[in-house]
Chain A
Amino acid sequence: EPEVTQTPSHQVTQMGQEVILRCVPISNHLYFYWYRQILGQKVEFLVSFYNNEISEKSEIFDDQFSVERPDGSNFTLKIRSTKLEDSAMYFCASGTGLSYGYTFGSGTRLTVV
């Protein structure tokens, strides 16, 4: 079964540092998403991406965040200057747009110290 692959699985960074979280969506998918889940809380939508541009973003997705699809396979989330409250699991997801239900990756656990 095709998978969405996320790297790294764990990342520890110092406050103020930039981090890039990487995702390899399923190859024939066209819609891409980032979500985050703070420990013990809900899964929160961050941003959706289609046709090489952001289609929707949440209030959480402020100027510190950016997404990019630098080539035909990778989809990245960059946090420019991390804050303690950015510590969370970050999930990438992708979908075909032909049927409902998209596939999530296993996540990157980001710890900001």
Chain B
Amino acid sequence: LAKTTQPISMDSYEGQEVNITCSHNNIATNDYITWYQQFPSQGPRFIIQGYKTKVTNEVASLFIPADRKSSTLSLPRVSLSDTAVYYCLVGLMNRDDKIIFGKGTRLHILP
């Protein structure tokens, strides 16, 4: 898996849009970018995955520039319940690959 760098922590306020950027300079041609979310005392939860440009689902959007050396997870109009740790993962992601988690970004939403 490619090495990733993301902020250790971020604070934001309810109703704001939150963007978490992940750097992955050594991303390989076949690598995908995947984000997981972990609430306190719960297991990680898959949020979104993309290869290039933009992916959107009901939870978040993922923006990937043309060089793919970084990506941005965008959470629209966050609420207190979005307080969690967010993990950026980059790799080939074969169907049975283990996931190696880094420290992630601890997002704290304030009222």
Asked if chains A and B come from one complex, the reply is yes
Query: Which residues of A does B touch, CB under 8 Å?
Result: 4, 31, 33, 35, 42-45, 48, 50, 55-56, 89, 91, 93, 95-107, 109
B43 touches A93 (CB 8 A): yes
Total cross-chain contacts (CB, 8 A): 56
B101 CB to nearest chain A CB (Å) = 4
Alpha-carbon separation in the docked complex, A56 to B98 (Å): 8
The complex places the Cα of A96 from the Cα of B44 at a distance, in Å, of 17
By the criterion CB–CB under 8 Å, are B42 and A50 in contact?
no
Interface size of B in residues (CB-CB distance below 8 Å): 20
Q: Specify which of A48, A96, A98, A106 is in contact with B98 (CB 8 Å cutoff).
A: A48
B102 to A: closest C-beta gap in Å: 7
Given the known interface contacts A101-B34, A106-B42, A107-B43, the answer about A42 and B103 at a Cβ–Cβ threshold of 8 Å is yes
Residues of B within 8 A of A31 (CB): 95-96
- Name the interface residues of B33-61: CB closer than 8 Å to any CB of A: 34, 38, 41-46, 49
